[in-house]
Amino acid sequence: MPTILNGRDLAASLRAELKNKVAELNLTPRLGVILVGDDPASHLYVALKEKAAKEVGIGVEKILLPNSAAKEDIIAKVEFFNNRPDIHGILIQLPLPPQLNEHEIISAMNPEKDADGFHPHNLTNLQNNQTAVIPGVTAGIIKLIELSGQTLAQKQACLIVNSDEFALPLKKLLQDRVAKVNIIHTPEPKDLQVADIVVVALGQPQIIKGEFIKDGAVLIDVGTTKVNGKVMGDVDAASLANRDVYLTPVPGGVGPMTVVMLLWNVYHLARQLAEKTV
């Protein structure tokens, strides 16, 4: 029977710790959120982030823009937050409407306020072992792998992803822990059968079957797809029902951890500002 890596419980513990840390600051950390369009999932994700932020004492200021918003209008709002000393972190909720260039808009952020950790400056610093904001989803995945209690040194990690931009920060943190990392875009039995750690983020419901997973493996399911009103992950959890593996649930695994690690980033950014002004 799988050991469930419960992201909700771990996130709740991290929020409690963060609440105490925030209370010790001599300022209130504030997150500026830019939400473009009317995608229901994006609005839900922002609402969850607002709720968690309120719980730990982080303020949120949200700017809503229509689906038709021009690049220049969005960048103007980014600059508005860049120039606000009371805004310590900025989140541009992704995905943006398809006509917009996400890279260009994210690059308009002050990297010192990049709460999500996807500014090119921060991604480059991370690869070069310099101080950087770590993407919340990446940090959350590492925490969930550590929750399994498995050592990472010399373990084989298989990252099955649509986006190398998502995979590269995770690859770096795993390699820092002396894991061997393989990035692929289509699940192959030969890769899965030797993997000690499998991270899948494809958005293809139940594509990962238990028959190809080795005993003792850690499976981190990042995929979320709604099928007939039910949220499903990329891992076929039922096919692992009698297996000795570690598995994150969907929902309740990576999602809550991504939110709480984003808020930890806001706290660190606010603390850095406080230290600069002392």
Say how far apart CA 115 and CA 61 lie, in whole Å. 14
3 state SS of 129: coil
Query: Dihedral angle at the C-alpha atoms of 106, 132, 182, 2, nearest 10 degrees?
Result: -100
Overall fold of domain 136-255: Rossmann fold (3.40.50)
Position 110 scores a pLDDT of 97
Q: What percentage of the chain carries pLDDT values higher than 70?
A: 99
Q: Which of 77, 114, 116, 196 is catalytic?
A: 116
Known active-site residue 116: yes
Q: Which amino acid is at 17?
A: E
Question: What are the pLDDT digits (tens) for 69-94?
Answer: 999 999 999 999 999 999 999 999 99
Adjacent-strand bridge partners of 61: 32
- The answer, yes or no, to whether residue 235 has pLDDT greater than 80, is yes
Contact, 152 vs 145, CB < 8 A? yes
Q: 77, 93, 143, 221: which is the annotated catalytic residue?
A: 93
Q: DSSP for 30-94, please give it.
A: EEEEEEES--HHHHHHHHHHHHHHHHHT-EEEEEEE-TT--HHHHHHHHHHHHT-TT--EEEE-S
What is the rounded distance in angstroms from the CA atom of residue 153 to the CA atom of residue 157? 10
Kindly indicate the confidence band of residue 190, based on its pLDDT and cuts at 50, 70 and 90: very high
Domain spans of the chain, in order of start: 26-116, 136-255
Could you tell me if residue 252 is left (phi over 0), alpha (psi between -120 and 50 degrees) or otherwise beta? Answer: left
Question: Does the pLDDT at position 277 exceed 80?
Answer: no
CB 131 within 8 A of CB 245: no
In the sheet where 30-36 sits, what is the strand order? 59-65, 30-36, 89-92
Determine the CATH number of domain 26-116. 3.40.50.10860
The confidence score (pLDDT) of residue 131 equals: 81
176 among known catalytic residues: no
- pLDDT tens-digit series, residues 110-120: 999 999 999 99
8-state DSSP, 2:
P
pLDDT of 21-45, one tens digit each?
999 998 999 999 999 999 998 999 9
Does the annotation list 224 as a binding residue? yes
pLDDT band, very low/low/confident/very high, at 273 (cuts 50, 70, 90): confident
Region 217-227 average pLDDT: 95
pLDDT of the residue at 242: 93
Active site residue 49: yes
